[in-house]
Amino acid sequence: MKMSDIPFGTTDWNDVPKTDHKGETGLATWQTRNFGSIRVRIVEYTPGYLADHWCVKGHILLCLGGELRTELADGRVFTLTPGMSYQVADDAEPHRSSTEVGAKLFIVD
């Protein structure tokens, strides 16, 4: 990821609109800022959320709250709790997210 032509700025996430995205079960609520080709989000998953797709987009993801379960297409499963993160490249390893208790994430992709 190359970040260029992004002047210094701050974001008050309280002012960023929320959009809802249905999962196979549950709901994801996104707050999104775009800086050129870089997307930065706060995402909250409701309890019982299961993604409706296998994602191949690269991310750097930090768990801010709750618990996130990430399953890779090869069967491996990882659980993130607050303060944990993961990173994956574009088209590297298909993955999908779920949570039993809900989760709040900070994601850069």
For position 3, what pLDDT does the model report? 81
Task: Say what the pLDDT of residue 2 is.
Answer: 76
Q: What pLDDT does residue 104 have?
A: 98
CA distance 98 to 24: 10
**DSSP letter (8 states) at residue 37:** T
**In the predicted structure, residue 79 carries a pLDDT above the cut 80:** yes
72, with CB counted inside 10 A (0-12, 13-18, 19+), is middle
> The domain 41-108: what is its CATH number?
2.60.120.10
